[in-house]
């Protein structure tokens, strides 16, 4: 009798443990988080191509920001004498005053330049980033607040480019498209900031020219601004490519399907 009672208790205990184990397994299975969707090989290849396009924009931006050929200020060719003339070119960080030979200048050109001609050059860094002093170029005074604003916009755009590159690198290493949308925001915003930096810098040039009228000057934006403008367009285009790749479907294919179904 007692042996049957203990055997019955052992069997009930084993059945209870089995039931608890089954419940635990079910709860563990139901508690698992769904894995994020993985990228296909074709999508990963498209992301790498878009990233390459964005890196071209980053390279052009760094090239344009580091040079002092944003604008060229040229005196009339015969303003001083018939042998030499002076011109200046500067960017965000420093300015250069060049003395060129008139005989090397194109006879049809009325102003001194371009800056690529051989001659003496004297370059100095702007002091309004350190001591706050304005620079004087041909008796004209720079507007340091506009220069600083343009430089800050350019540096902020460079920071966003770095953040966007980090997002794309993480997306490719984890093989998940989650980081594509933050990368889109970073690259598009950086392109817009580059354009704003050019606009603010051009306003600083106009303020410089309006500060004094004793020396006539001809001004023109140089090749660094062309690099930055191209970089801004490429960055915005690359960001929009990341946005399209982050969508769960291709909007162009969806439009074509709807059009074909309506025609049928």
Nearest to 224 by CA among 70, 96, 57: 70
Compute the C-alpha angle 152/88/210, nearest 5°: 70
245 and 43 Cβ atoms separated by less than 8 Å:
yes
State the DSSP H helix or E strand holding residue 246, giving kind and residue range, or none if neither: helix 223-246
Largest Cα span, the chain: 130
Nearest to 223 by CA among 67, 5, 97: 67
Cα gap 145→129, rounded to integer Å = 10
pLDDT tens digits for range 143-173: 889 999 999 999 999 999 999 999 999 988 8
Second CATH level (architecture) for the domain 41-261: Up-down Bundle (1.20)
For residue 105, what is the DSSP state? S
Give 39's pLDDT tier (boundaries 50, 70, 90).
low
Please give the average per-residue pLDDT across 34-43, as a whole number: 67
Q: What is the mean pLDDT of the chain?
A: 82
pLDDT score, position 187 = 95
**Residue 21, pLDDT above cutoff 70:** no
Give 262's pLDDT tier (boundaries 50, 70, 90).
low
pLDDT tens digits for range 58-89: 999 999 999 999 999 998 888 877 788 899 99
pLDDT score, position 263 = 53
Nearest to 158 by CA among 105, 212, 232, 84: 232
pLDDT tens digits for range 125-139: 998 888 888 888 988
- The C-alpha torsion from 186 through 189 and 190 to 192, rounded to 10°, is 160
């Amino acid at each position: 009798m007692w042996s049957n009672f203990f055997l019955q208790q052992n069997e009930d205990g084993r059945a209870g443990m089995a039931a608890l184990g089954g419940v635990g397994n079910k709860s563990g299975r139901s508690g698992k988080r769904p894995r994020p969707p993985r990228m296909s090989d074709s999508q990963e290849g498209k992301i790498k191509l878009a990233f390459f396009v964005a890196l071209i924009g980053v390279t052009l931006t760094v090239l344009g920001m580091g040079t002092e050929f944003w604008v060229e200020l040229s005196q009339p060719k015969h303003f001083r004498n018939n042998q030499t003339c002076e011109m200046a070119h500067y960017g965000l960080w420093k300015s250069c005053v060049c003395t060129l030979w008139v005989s090397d200048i194109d006879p049809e050109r009325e102003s001194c330049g371009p800056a690529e001609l051989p001659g003496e050059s004297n370059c100095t860094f702007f002091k309004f980033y350190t001591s706050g002093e304005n620079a004087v170029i041909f008796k004209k005074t720079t507007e340091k607040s506009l220069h600083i604003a343009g430089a800050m916009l350019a540096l902020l755009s460079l920071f966003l480019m770095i953040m966007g590159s980090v997002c794309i690198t993480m997306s490719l290493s984890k093989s998940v498209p989650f980081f594509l949308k933050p990368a889109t925001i970073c690259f598009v915003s950086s392109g817009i900031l580059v354009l704003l930096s050019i606009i603010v810098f051009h306003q600083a040039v106009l303020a410089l020219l309006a500060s004094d009228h004793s020396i006539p000057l001809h001004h023109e934006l140089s090749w660094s601004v062309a690099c930055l403008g191209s970089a801004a367009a490429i960055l915005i285009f690359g960001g929009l490519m990341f946005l399209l790749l982050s969508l769960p479907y291709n909007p162009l294919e969806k439009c074509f399907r709807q059009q074909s179904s309506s025609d049928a």
